[in-house]
A = this chain, B = another copy of it.
């Protein structure tokens, strides 16, 4: 693993989490850098989302401060003030304007941030900033909530002998407190980019990765994916094919990272990939893949190792996409269960074992109306998911 040049990281415990675990991270750049962002579409959203949206894309980024344990969402005017104060505080330490600082937040919603702890946490994190791997790891831990482990991904490649490094971290979609899921991801590279190109690369990579995952389909108030580029690599990215290559590599990094989120979904025992082909449009294929992914009946079938083509095919039927019922074909983990609108003979114990014995289940659904295709990754639905999310003590 080689971390991209020009970054510094820190992750500290400042007391937001009652557990005493790391809960504040800073990712800074040695010099003003490029920053792009994509954000939750939720109308109900955290102060940090609006704050960052005003900044990106830009070429004056200096640092990102991320706290976990408290999402600072639905907290009204005081929440907006606290968010601003976090940026101001980081800026003060780094001798820069709050307008050059991004803020991300994840955790319980509707509760005001403990600003005394956050302020001293920021001071401690700024002191701890370093380009070393262990600092990167500390930051990746400090952004998690109920994640089983930190989620990171790295990729390095060459352009005419010059290395380009990509590193990324994410958290989610474990449920938070007894509250809700948030997905945060930060992608860092030393590739030389303009703000416009960075935003376009991030939009493409996000559409192929984080926009194709779900746990239970509940959209958070705080979801954000940021791309930061220092330009410290001497590599020249002066042609469309080279930009396309970088876009593909950043997409791959994001896909690798994105799949780790439903894999670590609360109580998950399977990562399910739904691949839809033959739809009228890609948008229709997306709709079908999401509808299948969001069906509690499909999820519980996979949990139980049940090769239940009926639940899958009928979910496709109500997705609101134009499909040909007589042309639907379905494979689970390579086994054909349904063809041209009819069930086919198959060995139920064999297909059941193919689901039960593997962590990953692939559902391939062809719907026979065109050449549109899309995929989606989701987790299954288990007793542990329900237990975790219905536990509540006043």
Given the complex of chains A and B, what is the CA–CA distance between A2 and B339 in angstroms?
50
Q: Determine if A309 is an interface residue (Cβ-Cβ < 8 Å).
A: yes
A182 shortest CB reach to chain B, Å:
10
Could you say which of A155-163, A204-212, A242-250, A340-348 contacts chain B? A340-348
Q: Determine if A44 is an interface residue (Cβ-Cβ < 8 Å).
A: yes
Residues in B neighbouring A95, C-beta threshold 8 A: none
Q: Determine if A349 is an interface residue (Cβ-Cβ < 8 Å).
A: yes
Residues in B neighbouring A297, C-beta threshold 8 A: 175, 180-181, 216, 218, 389
Residues in B neighbouring A178, C-beta threshold 8 A: 301, 304, 306, 308
Residues in B neighbouring A328, C-beta threshold 8 A: 44
Give the contacts of A246-284 with B (CB-CB under 8 A). none
Q: Determine if A359 is an interface residue (Cβ-Cβ < 8 Å).
A: no
Is there an interface contact between B219 and A349, defined as CB atoms closer than 8 Å?
no
Is there an interface contact between B389 and A220, defined as CB atoms closer than 8 Å?
no
Q: Determine if A88 is an interface residue (Cβ-Cβ < 8 Å).
A: no
Residues in B neighbouring A313, C-beta threshold 8 A: 44, 74
Could you say which of A117-125, A188-196, A314-322 contacts chain B? A314-322
Among residues of B, the one whose C-beta sits closest to the C-beta of A303 is B390
Is there an interface contact between B179 and A311, defined as CB atoms closer than 8 Å?
yes
Given the complex of chains A and B, what is the CA–CA distance between A294 and B217 in angstroms?
9
Fill in one digit per residue for A374-389: 1 if any B CB lies within 8 Å of its CB, else 0.
Answer: 0000000111011101
Q: Determine if A358 is an interface residue (Cβ-Cβ < 8 Å).
A: no
Chain copies in complex: 2
Q: Determine if A19 is an interface residue (Cβ-Cβ < 8 Å).
A: no
Which residue, of A180, A381, A385, A392, has the highest number of chain B Cβ atoms within 10 A? A392
Is there an interface contact between A352 and B304, defined as CB atoms closer than 8 Å?
no
Given the complex of chains A and B, what is the CA–CA distance between A58 and B352 in angstroms?
46
Q: Determine if A305 is an interface residue (Cβ-Cβ < 8 Å).
A: yes
Among residues of B, the one whose C-beta sits closest to the C-beta of A108 is B310
Is there an interface contact between B44 and A295, defined as CB atoms closer than 8 Å?
no
Which 4 residue pairs of A and B lie closest in terms of their CB atoms, listed nearest first? Answer: A44-B317, A304-B390, A306-B392, A219-B318
Q: Taking beta carbons and an 8 Å cutoff, which residues of A are in contact with B?
A: 41-45, 73-76, 109-110, 175, 178-181, 216-221, 294-297, 300-301, 303-306, 308-311, 313-318, 323, 325, 328, 338, 341-343, 348-349, 352, 381-383, 385-387, 389-392, 394
20 A-B contacts (beta carbon < 8 Å): A41-B318, A43-B323, A43-B325, A44-B314, A44-B317, A44-B325, A45-B317, A74-B338, A74-B341, A74-B343, A178-B301, A178-B306, A217-B295, A217-B296, A218-B295, A218-B296, A221-B317, A300-B390, A304-B391, A383-B386
